[in-house]
Structure 1
């Protein structure tokens, strides 16, 4: 495995400076934002697709530092019921897939998106309860008319370009659990897999190690994020796991994102890394830092230090003791 970082963390720095900083920390991979919520401050696919010289310069900046690009990431909502918003995120995804092919990048990460509840809707509708039955009817309509048709088409498009799509399992979107990912993968093809982020498993009450086994045994983990979550034992009883308070209200929230090791101990992270190796994932562990209690540099550095203790980097050898 290689240790990497989601470069949106350093979106305020010039790409060269950010890459030099990452290399100084001993990392081997970068995940680059190419649109959607992460933005494209380091990489605008439209510009690179139109200019071969610019594309070559971009590749040289990465490769000359001994880095690989683990994924291009354009997390957005291409199923948004407002057509102009959906179109922007769709175009970002299409251009990211095209650029990934040119760069030799294996994975493009995004969200599954979430549609509205009918053709004339203005806002996404995320059903999370089986009753009243209206919610089941909404869910069926969404999957049959929006989710499956769109991702079946995009899965075929990605396959044609030699790229896999890593959907981040995230609350608020149609694909948010191992079950919903596998449902979509069965309908849309094996180009569709997970960009698995343990932090989003913990706050939904899902054990990330078990999620790794469920998805990994089916070859459905395309990329992996390293981010932690802590659940407040008092506040969760007031607000529940679907707490709608702002992330900025850290003192009162039921849960919050933390840097690796500050929500769960290093042994838990060792179990996560071992589970990844066990199911055959031998790609990049990409740090995503969204810790409201730490600066960018400190939170990132502590995540690097904690993951270094547990990351399995060398290839498997023979079982000499057998």
Structure 2
């Protein structure tokens, strides 16, 4: 069993990290243990997929992996650092938001919130579509079915996220019937898989489509495109003005008002979203009719 401690650039907020990973965890994709501040999932390296256990502390993350050599650990460290935003210096964001009447108090209360992304761009896109118009719990259920039907076996009893080609090969009808999706949702996910496959996607982080290309896909609206720009691309200056949870934290202002307000938060608008989401979770139970703020009426 090999282990390495990944010191972060500035402290972490382990509770926030665990909550972010937990609300998006999918059965068989990862093992989430919030009481222990521990999260396990498969990460691909050149020598093959590895089951990686992560333990969170204020100073950083302890990475543990069986059957890995120094080269594997180097690759795993690079992947985890990018995924969890460990190398970002948050001081610029903190200074920028400090005088802001909305974000200043939030950052003062929780200054070390980071922008957690995705290890796999297709995972980001597919799970976002699976979570459209349903509760977070239902989205995780759909995700588990998707993993079972299209994923492959990985180490540690976990599964590897499906490739776009695996989805395309079985057709849209199989996708709809196997997962239990509506015809529209299955069609959107199938189109997404086709585009990823056509672009030669290889399981890396990042989305191989820009915002106009995303919006051109039937069933992908502004919320999905903005959310994927933020978390799928790990863009520090994206914003999701249509997000219900963020707008609730902003006294239920309109989408247009939220976009206008956020213009003053550049170039850290993604971190503004993170703090707005976190403030909602501190103030009460997250809305049950949204998937991390996605309006149930958005196509």
- TM-score (norm: length of structure 2): 0.26
Whichever structure has more helix as a proportion of its residues is 2
Q: Which has the higher contact order (CA 8 A, sep 6+)?
A: 2
Structure with higher Rg: it is: 1
The alignment's TM-score, normalised by the length of structure 1, stands at 0.25
